[in-house]
Amino acid sequence: MESIGVLLMCPMYSYLEQELQSRFNLFKLWQQPPSKIPEFLKSNQRTIKAVVSNARVGADAQLIDSLPNLEIVASFSVGFDKIDLKRCEEKGIRVTNTPDVLTDDVADLGIALILAVLRKICPCDGFVRSGKWKDGDFGLSTKQFSSKPVGIVGLGRIGSAIAKRAQAFGCSISYHSRTQKPLKHYKYYDNIVDLAKNCSILVVACSLTDETRHIVNREVIDALGPRGILINVGRGAHVDEPELVSALLEGRLAGAGLDVYEDEPEVPDPLLRLDNVLLLPHVGSDTVETCNSMADLVLANLEAHFNSRPLPTPVI
Amino acid sequence: MAVTGTNQSPPALSATAHDGDDSLPVVLIHRFPTFTGSLFPSLPTHFRLLDLLTTDASNLQSASAILCVGPPPPVTPEFLDRFPSLKIVVCSSVGVDHVDLPECRQRGIVVTNAGSAFAEDVADYAVALLIDVLRRVSAADRYVRAGSWPVKGDYPLGSKVSGKRVGILGLGRIGSAIATRLAAFGCQIRYSSRKEKPSLPFPFYKTALDLAANSDVLIACCALTDETFHVINGEVMTVLGKQGVIINVGRGSLVDEKELVEFLLRGDLGGAGLDVFEDEPHVPKELFALDNVVLSPHSAVVTPESIGTLQDVVIGNLKAFFAGQPLISPVID
């Protein structure tokens, strides 16, 4: 298989990189100066049969078109919003992702974001580290999580895992989803504004599509209200970021916990000074255990494809 | 710290005891002179509150009830000697390690604590600290705020929470609430406690050492007693291992703090989340530079909901006492 060219879109995970290096003819896109990329792709277009992408760098139409022998795009992520699925489908290119193995990590982080925002864990930690505790108590009142109403946008694998955890804290669960799920003891709302009106913690955990772009807009933020908090473990583009920022600055929203942003790794400057927000650098599935599992899944998909076996986790 | 008279009068409590309604039962307020926070707002409706630090000595003879407020002030034999008619000490904390319980028992004085007023909030906080340490939440937030993400790239990987073996030291109200929460994360719960609880589905270990040998994480949420002083010591930390994480939402002295710092600095422990310390508000400075440590200024109980419930428990205990009815949360030694 050493002759099969695999294009790695950006640095992702050293174990994955090493394995790809040993099993395939690995090309690292980021090692090319941007101006040389078209030339680089042209000279290697016969060899490159696979692309490994992730949540940040995908495979757009331009890239796909410049690789005429491309057979498979394997994403080191569960989201595939940065892959031009339509173009892949037109050209018969397979696309795979990494569902399930990262569900727990993302759900764990979702709860961490809620707790950290409500209970002001990071400001508390900063308070102690600055030496201020000796001069007086922390003072700022924190808010209880247990028993609060939680609203989840998207009740897929990750949304369900978040719901299960929140229930253990005594929280009531409501959700908005493309379709109502028959089994759960969760209240369904067929529109996100009603969901926001009826919860105090709104969690975004759906996939990014044309329909869900900016699904959290001004109207939803207003419905969530000045005592509500927004948690985003989906994609930055789920939220109208400038609206979110002004809502937080103006006190129209009580707080936010964000792992994703519209233009990563850029985080809106005003947020950096607020103590009622938690800002994480897209670490949703960033544990050693999960990255190993994700990498193994990417490799399994590639191996299966090039050995003409059924793909473990195909998107198309 | 003895509560003795000084030449200057101590600062007054902000919603202060007042020599108000004579018909109401008298409750003496016991506090550290440095604590001047407001009292429970509904208390004066039901009781005549007298601040021990400022009231006339003559009031101490007949008083039957004392309420401890703020950071728990010591209740020693010498202290108890001043109140010949004392029958109840009402604490506004869960921990009663500041009270000489055998002495109270001998004198026929009953002690009540905060009961389950805080259980959920403390449990929530313990879970928050655990996820934070394993997933480096606070450290990653600092990373973003420092502007490091665009410059230094992705933040280093953390460790998965789900599936970890979590050893809970003390399976009372708080420990049970922690167990319920973490079980939903797919964590494998096991515990050590004074007595085994066969009705619970979790493996029981007789000692903290055995618990540590079978856990990836230890959560300390038991009462501080002579037996549990430094229950998490160097030996336990060694057995817990280099990836081990310690969470303390009980009392600082459950953990040998000096050892803990050394283990962390040597890299012989994976991390720690601490809401309590052996000598609050002093925190070992060596911990400030560590990203695998999360520090908190004894805040696990501070939510409006907890404080409200606490007020209900305090008033409930006092009312029951004066009416000769069963107490809500007596401490049974």
Any idea what the CATH number is for the domain that residue B86 is in? 3.40.50.720
Q: Could you tell me if residue B42 is inside a domain?
A: yes
Active site residue A211: no
Map tokens 């950071």 to a residue: B71
How far CA B168 is from CA of A258, B193, B220, B243, B270, in Å, comes to 30, 8, 6, 17, 17
pLDDT (tens digit per residue) in B185-221: 999 999 999 999 999 999 999 999 999 999 999 999 9
3-state helix, strand, coil in chain A (%, to 5): 40, 20, 40
- Domain annotation covers residue B98: yes
Residue B53 lies in a domain: yes
Question: How far is it, in rounded angstroms, from Cα B311 to Cα A30?
Answer: 61
Backbone angles phi, psi at A202, to 5 degrees: -105, 120
Subunit contact A128:B161, Cβ cutoff 8 A = no
pLDDT in tens, A214-223: 999 999 999 9
> A65-119, pLDDT tens digit by residue?
999 999 999 999 999 999 999 999 999 999 999 999 999 999 999 999 999 999 9
| Interface residue of B299, B306, B310 to substitute, partner A, most A CBs within 10 Å | B299
Q: Which SS3 state, helix, strand or coil, does residue A68 take?
A: coil
Pair B37, B132 in one domain? no
Residue of B nearest to A258 (CA): B141
Residue whose tokens read 């700022």: A140
How far apart are the C-alpha atoms of B156 and B136, rounded to whole Å? 9
**Active-site choice (A235, A241, A243, A305):** A235
CA distance linking residue A56 with residue B31, whole number of Å: 56
Regarding whether B285 and B258 lie in a shared domain, the answer is: yes
Task: Tell me the per-residue pLDDT of A301-316, one tens digit each, with 9 for 90 and over.
Answer: 999 999 999 999 999 9
Among residues of chain A, what percentage have pLDDT more than 90? 94
Beta strand pairing status for B110-112 and B88-91?
parallel
A chain contacts of residue B132, beta-carbon cutoff 8 Å? 112, 116, 121
pLDDT at B10: 72
- Least CB–CB distance from B124: residue in A119, A126, A288: A119
Distance from CA of A272 to the nearest CA of B (A): 5
Closest CA to A116 of B192, B127, B11, B167: B127
Intervals of chain B under pLDDT 70: 1-9, 14-20, 333
CB distance B318 to B90 below 8 Å? yes
| φ/ψ (deg, to 5) at B217 | -135, 140
Interchain contact, B149 vs A265, CB within 8 Å: yes
Same domain, B227 and B307: no
Spatial separation of the C-alpha atoms in residues A252 and A291, rounded to whole Å: 37
Distance CA B129, CA B288 (A): 16
CATH-assigned architecture of domain A103-279: 3-Layer(aba) Sandwich (3.40)
Q: What ipTM was assigned to the predicted interfaces of this complex? A: 0.94
Tell me whether B4 touches chain A (CB under 8 Å): no
Q: Which residues of chain A lie closer than 8 angstroms to B153, CB-CB?
A: 11
Please indicate, yes or no, if residue B104 is contained in any of the structural domains: yes
Interface of A with B in 139-168 (CB under 8 A): 141-147, 164-165, 167-168
Mention every residue, 6+ apart, whose C-beta is less than 8 A from residue A273.
Answer: none
Half-sphere exposure (Cβ direction) of A290: Cα atoms closer than 13 Å: 28
Residue B188: its chain A contacts at CB < 8 A?
none
Q: Give the closest-approach CA distance of B291 to chain A in angstroms.
A: 11
Question: Which residue type sits at A187?
Answer: K
Q: Is the same domain home to B143 and B159? A: yes
Q: Is the peptide bond before B281 cis (omega within 30 degrees of 0)?
A: yes
Distance CA A217, CA A197 (A): 13
Which tokens sit at A119?
């209970």
**Same domain, residue pair B264 and B129:** yes
Backbone torsions φ then ψ of A287, nearest 5 degrees: -120, 160
- Residues from chain A that touch B155, judged by Cβ atoms under 8 A, are 280-281, 283, 286
Nearest-Cα distance to chain B for A201, in Å, is 15
At A139 the pLDDT is 73
B168 and B72 assigned to the same domain: no
What domain count does chain B have? Answer: 2
CB contact (8 A) between residue B183 and residue A168: yes
Q: Note which residues in 297-326 of chain B have CB less than 8 A from chain A.
A: 297, 299, 302-306
- Does the residue B330 lie in any domain? no
**Cα nearest neighbour of B137 on chain A:** A280
Residues B210 and B318 in one domain: no
pTM: 0.91
Q: B270 is in which domain, residue-wise?
A: 119-295
Write down the pLDDT at residue A290. 97
How far is A308 from B287, CA to CA, in rounded Å?
A: 54
Side-chain half-sphere CA neighbours of A188 within 13 A: 13
- Contact of A96 with A71, CB cutoff 8 Å: no
Please calculate the CA angle A52-A16-A19 and round it to the nearest 5 degrees. 105
Q: Is B157 a member of any domain?
A: yes
Contact B297 A278 (CB under 8 A): no
B132–A112 CB contact, under 8 Å = yes
Contacts of A127 in chain B (CB under 8 A): 297
For residues A77 and A57, the answer to whether their CB atoms sit within 8 Å is no
- Give domain status of residue B8, yes or no: no
Chain A residue numbers touching B302 (CB-CB < 8 A): 138, 141-142
* SS3 letters across chain B: CCCCCCCCCCCCCCCCCCCCCCCCCEEEEECCCCCCCCCCCCHHHHCEEEECCCCCHHHHCCCCEEEECCCCCCECHHHHHCCCCCCEEEECCCCCCCECHHHHHHCCCEEECCCCCCHHHHHHHHHHHHHHHHHCHHHHHHHHHCCHHHHHCCCCCECCCCCCEEEEECCCHHHHHHHHHHHCCCCEEEEECCCCCCCCCCCECCCHHHHHHCCCEEEECCCCCCCCCCCECHHHHHHHCCCCEEEECCCHHHECHHHHHHHHHHCCCCEEEECCCCECCECCHHHHHCCCEEECCCCCCCCHHHHHHHHHHHHHHHHHHHCCCCCCCECCC
The reply to whether domains A5-99+288-306 and A103-279 share a CATH topology is: yes
Q: B13 and B38 in contact (C-beta within 8 Å)?
A: yes
Distance from CA of A298 to the nearest CA of B (A): 18
- CATH value of A5-99+288-306 in 3.40.50.720, 1.10.240.10, 2.20.25.240, 3.10.20.600: 3.40.50.720
* B contact test, residue of A145, A164, A173, A275 with most B CBs within 10 A: A145
A119 near B CB under 8 A:
yes
- Residue B274 shares a structural domain with residue B153: yes
Q: Residue B231, exposed/middle/buried by CB under 10 A (0-12, 13-18, 19+)?
A: buried
Q: To 10 degrees, what angle do helices A157-168 and A103-119 make?
A: 50
In a domain, B142, yes or no: yes
| DSSP per residue, A248-270 | HHTTSSSEEEES--TBTTB--GG
Q: What is the pLDDT of residue B306?
A: 85
Q: Which of A17, A71, A262, A264 is catalytic?
A: A264
Give the C-alpha separation, A64 to A45, whole Å.
10
Using CB atoms, pick whichever of B128, B161, B185 lies closest to residue A119: B128
> Could you say which of A119, A165, A170 has the minimum Cβ distance to residue B185?
A165
Closest chain A C-alpha to B184 CA, distance in angstroms: 5
CA distance B173 to chain A (A): 14
User: What are the extents of the domains in chain A?
Assistant: 5-99+288-306, 103-279
pLDDT exceeding 70 applies to what percent of chain A? 98
Place of tokens 């009142």: A141
Comparing CB atoms, the residue among B120, B141, B181 nearest residue A279 is: B141
Check residue B56 and give its pLDDT.
87
**B163 plus B232 within the same structural domain:** yes
